[in-house]
A and B are shown apart, each in its own frame.
Chain A
Amino acid sequence: MKRNILEAAKVIRSKNAGPFELTFDIMFKNREFYEQFKSQKIINEKMIAGILKISESDILSLIWFAPANAVKITIKRPMPSGAPGETDIYGAQQHAPLLAIEF
């Protein structure tokens, strides 16, 4: 049976990394979950692109960061911060689709 990511993660957030990039952090509850997600590649570029409805080429990096038991995904911002049609200047409320990840 699939489990929801919130059983494994305690922080899931999004934020601008400068006005042209958007970055997502998933911090796991402990080193075991971190290692499980990392070794099984549960979080990967293809899956993130699907969830965020973006092209895989718009994912700039997916980096595992052990000191924080975290994985960081940085994408090309859908539009530069504040451009016409903007909905979220700080990019702080774009994380919700990640809450649906299952493992």
Chain B
Amino acid sequence: MTTNEEFRVLSPTAILGYGFPESSFKRGIERKPHLIAVDAGSTDPGPYYLGAGKAFTDRAFVKRDLRYMIKEGVRLGIPVVVGTAGGSGASVHLEWCRTIIEEIAQEEKLSFKMGVIPSDVDKQAVKKALREGRISPLACVHELTEGLIDETTYLVAQIGIEPIIEALQAGCNVVLAGRCYDPAVFAALPVMQGYDEGLALHMGKILECAAIAATPGSGADCALGILKKDSFILEALNPKRRFTCESAAAHTLYEKSDPYHLPGPGGSINLEDCSFTDAGDGRVEVKGSRHEKTPRYLIKLEGARPIGYRSISIAGTRDPIMIAGIDKIIDEVKQQISDMSGENDRSQQLFFHVYGKNGVMGPLEPLTQTASHELCIVIEALCPTQEQADTLCSVARSTLLHYGYEGRISTAGNLAFPFSPSDIKMGQVFEFSIYHLMDPGDEKLFATHIENYQDGRKA
């Protein structure tokens, strides 16, 4: 590689399905990128999506985003890499996204080779690793047990750049990966071509949120990363936005616990000597990011397990006497329901989210007295079965509606319901059951399945 060489990466959007302006994408294509890459997921929307095998993004918009990327990528011979397919990256999410690409291939009559990389990890392999002491919890995470592994519906690992490089080396124009370390989709191809891994991963860490790291920030706009031998440059693709040293540095803080050390599969990015300088025209140059390998190549496992079913009811109150006594009223209602059910069944949980008082922060809310003239109360019942949740929610709703609290002058009903029916079945509820590091030892866990498309038809 000479010092003049550069590798341009187009990141169309922060999460596949969030969308982007066509004009920004076109500007990105005019910059002749060597790679189009996108991160399609996150654990942020909570455990449901992984546990239930559902996408948290909308299918129509995921297809819309992918159509631009794949059509242009195939037409111009630019590799397209998509990570954390379907939002959580388990086999069911991967298949959901693969089907969308298959449809696009057919509709646009495209010819290309696609590598699909599942990132599910076999439960028996995880149990074996647990018995052999090759599993450790991440900070603040419970110890793993074989029981938790058994109850987990989907169990994935965050893959690093290596399986993606393998797929690219096999000549794939499109790579669709399961759960993936976010920067890996951006870094794999340049690292394969000899660019510095620390710079490539740090650039990927910023590009995975696309224009969120620019100012004004947006999760639905494109960004360009230009990787060089000793630095990388960030460039916005919408004249309304620009990168500043501040916006890029601020983004380095985002969603992580330590801004100087960003851990990933097999190592971490060290930013202790990292500098951000203004490169003019709304561009920022970043230098000094280093990749440090860990002694063992550890991968992060993620899993979720079902813990019951939920029903909710949404209501409001405008009564000043009720509002003043709301904590006591809710305590008394809880007690009355527990007395009625005859036993203190700890598997049946009832929560009152009181918006206007402490609905957002719960017990951590520092203000104890509400100044609001009205409150929204969300009654939440969480039980082993949907029927039990429906029953508990219904009883809690009717009890609170007619509860004769102390000092009441409004005796016709305590709640205002915006909807009929007032109660909503929320379905199955999940929690994160696995968030641990695993030393896979010598086992090769991830392999690429190759599909060939000829004029839209799968060969």
Which 10 pairs of residues, A with B, have the shortest CB-CB distance? A82-B46, A68-B249, A67-B249, A74-B257, A20-B140, A82-B47, A89-B46, A17-B257, A76-B140, A87-B362
Q: Does B456 contact A (CB under 8 A)?
A: no
Chain A interfacial positions (CB closer than 8 Å to B) = 11, 15-21, 23, 25, 27, 51-54, 60-61, 63, 65, 67-70, 72, 74, 76-78, 80-90, 93-94, 96-97, 100
Chain B interfacial positions (CB closer than 8 Å to A) = 43-48, 138-141, 245-246, 249-250, 252-260, 274-276, 307, 349, 351, 353, 359-364, 366, 382, 429-432, 435
Whether the Cβ atoms of B359 and A21 lie closer than 8 Å is no
Q: Which residues of A contact B256 (CB under 8 A)?
A: 17, 23
Q: A80-B432, A82-B46, A89-B46 are in contact. Are A68 and B252 (CB under 8 A)?
A: yes
Which one of A19, A61, A72, A100 has the greatest number of beta carbons of chain B within 10 Å?
A19
Whether the Cβ atoms of B274 and A67 lie closer than 8 Å is yes
Q: A20-B138, A60-B257, A72-B253 are in contact. Are A67 and B43 (CB under 8 A)?
A: no
With the chains together, A1 CA to B267 CA distance in Å? Answer: 48
Q: A18-B43, A74-B257 are in contact. Are A68 and B138 (CB under 8 A)?
A: no
Could you say which of A15, A65, A84, A94 contacts B351, with CB atoms under 8 Å apart? Answer: A84
- Chain A proximity of B244: nearest CB distance (Å): 11
Across the interface, name the chain B residue whose C-beta is closest to A82.
B46
- Chain B proximity of A37: nearest CB distance (Å): 15
Q: Which residues of B contact A88 (CB under 8 A)?
A: 360-361
Whether the Cβ atoms of A63 and B258 lie closer than 8 Å is yes
A-B contact pairs, 5 of them (CB 8 A): A67-B249, A67-B252, A68-B246, A68-B253, A82-B432
Which one of A72, A74, A87, A96 has the greatest number of beta carbons of chain B within 10 Å?
A87
Whether the Cβ atoms of A96 and B259 lie closer than 8 Å is no
Whether the Cβ atoms of B432 and A15 lie closer than 8 Å is no
Whether the Cβ atoms of A84 and B349 lie closer than 8 Å is yes
Q: Which residues of A contact B360 (CB under 8 A)?
A: 87-88, 93-94
Q: Which residues of B contact A21 (CB under 8 A)?
A: 139-140, 257
Across the interface, name the chain B residue whose C-beta is closest to A23.
B257
Q: Which residues of B contact A96 (CB under 8 A)?
A: 361
With the chains together, A53 CA to B45 CA distance in Å? Answer: 25
Across the interface, name the chain A residue whose C-beta is closest to B286.
A67
With the chains together, A78 CA to B363 CA distance in Å? Answer: 10
With the chains together, A54 CA to B8 CA distance in Å? Answer: 45
Whether the Cβ atoms of B259 and A19 lie closer than 8 Å is no
- Chain B proximity of A21: nearest CB distance (Å): 5
Whether the Cβ atoms of A11 and B250 lie closer than 8 Å is yes
Which one of A18, A63, A89 has the greatest number of beta carbons of chain B within 10 Å?
A18
With the chains together, A68 CA to B284 CA distance in Å? Answer: 14
With the chains together, A89 CA to B47 CA distance in Å? Answer: 9
With the chains together, A67 CA to B47 CA distance in Å? Answer: 33
Q: Which residues of B contact A78 (CB under 8 A)?
A: 362-364
Whether the Cβ atoms of B307 and A84 lie closer than 8 Å is yes
With the chains together, A21 CA to B75 CA distance in Å? Answer: 43
With the chains together, A80 CA to B434 CA distance in Å? Answer: 11
Q: Which residues of B contact A84 (CB under 8 A)?
A: 307, 349, 351, 382, 429, 431
Q: Which residues of B contact A54 (CB under 8 A)?
A: 364
With the chains together, A96 CA to B140 CA distance in Å? Answer: 23
With the chains together, A19 CA to B42 CA distance in Å? Answer: 10
Q: Which residues of A contact B253 (CB under 8 A)?
A: 25, 27, 65, 68, 70, 72
